[in-house]
Structure 1
């Protein structure tokens, strides 16, 4: 692959399915469908904290919003129950198409970077347990950058750390809000359709695909050199 030098990949919901967290929520007394409500609040409050009072880690925000949701449901919001749910983020399973796709990108010479709002420690545990940590050159995490995606600073920090120009960096995510920040930093954006539909008011990504293998092929054909040859 003589196209993009670096390919960044989101973790939660993009490489790793989060559905297994539902079982932990149910054990804590919540409903499985509370997962979407809770994670929506995690993003909301994480973004708000950064804008209003400074960075808070993913786990700090997730812990606080989970306990609040449990109280709303009339449950005993103990630290132990919350931590048991949060421990599930280190136990997530990758989507079936992930391992082979990452291996293909690595064999093609692309440098892979995991980009996540999780802490570096949590991301490392997740990647190691899935057996794909060796595919990644580095992890760029919220606690290192001190910003949440989609803050532009997160993606600019990644560019600086990787010592690469924006035109040679492609970013893959299943979340449109995530790609907006990447686009603001000048990255090529690649949307992977997992579960979320792409919202109409969001700027169109550079690439779209319904599976990671399809996206790998698109990245190979749509890189900077391919575009220059086409021009």
Structure 2
């Protein structure tokens, strides 16, 4: 029986209007006279640039720290700066927005239900902070299906670093042979290769994959059938 490790983002949920709502919060709180769309685009760019640099270096940052660093580089563009307390406020506020703007993909409930009825052990393995991941799952009525959450803030390392995958295997008490990573993130496909972990890549967004995953699916409804096949 394979144990499944699910990513949250681009797999179970997508963030709807996160950049716009983040920009709105920043603009309103700081009284900035900038078109919302311009600020949202700049916010998205700074967020993605920071995340990609961290990922390429295998450096860990909590979501709140990522939000703080994004704020620093974003406001530098507008010749603004914040005190540490203000940065903490935005770190928390933007992290809460990740929860509030999360929306389940329409195929999730049926697939997770089916896997649960098959008694497939399921865990969450995510670069999100533990409390953020749990709040997203709670908000979408999914937490009860998972035996545990392995997150980058608890392991102090983020995907694609080997250490977070190793921590997940240790938590579940399984070997790489008995595990499957289910994710729509490129960093899972990259990181899992180091441990010969098999990845079921969920193509939620159009991205280039540097290595070929074990399986590629377009909807989670294909997953129970794949698991049945593997377990036979």
Q: TM-score range by the shorter chain?
A: 0.7 to 0.9
- Pair 1:84 & 2:84 matched: no
Distance 1:84 1:160, change over 3 A: closer
1:217 Cα offset (Å)? 2.3
Whole-angstrom CA distance in 2 between matches of 1:14 and 1:42: 21
In structure 1, the residue matched to 2:147 is: 137
In structure 2, the residue matched to 1:190 is: 200
Q: Which consecutive unaligned segments of at least 5 residues does structure 2 have?
A: 28-35
Alignment of 1:48-67 (within 5 A): 51=59, 55-67=60-72
Give the TM-score, by structure 2 length.
0.83
SS at match of 2:104: coil
- Pair 1:152 & 2:159 matched: no
Distance 1:35 1:216, change over 3 A: farther
Contact 1:8 1:172 in 2 (8 A): yes
1:81 Cα offset (Å)? 4.9
Alignment of 1:94-113 (within 5 A): 94-113=104-123
Whole-angstrom CA distance in 1 between matches of 2:69 and 2:18: 17
Give the TM-score, by structure 1 length.
0.83
SS at match of 1:179: helix
Whole-angstrom CA distance in 1 between matches of 2:115 and 2:16: 26
Superposed CA offset, 1:71-91 (max 9, x none) = 325667653455433321122
Contact 1:116 1:141 in 2 (8 A): yes
In structure 2, the residue matched to 1:115 is: 125
Count of aligned pairs: 216
More displaced stretch, 154-163 vs 42-51: 42-51
Contact 1:67 1:82 in 2 (8 A): no
Q: Which consecutive unaligned segments of at least 5 residues does structure 1 have?
A: 227-231
In structure 2, the residue matched to 1:218 is: 226
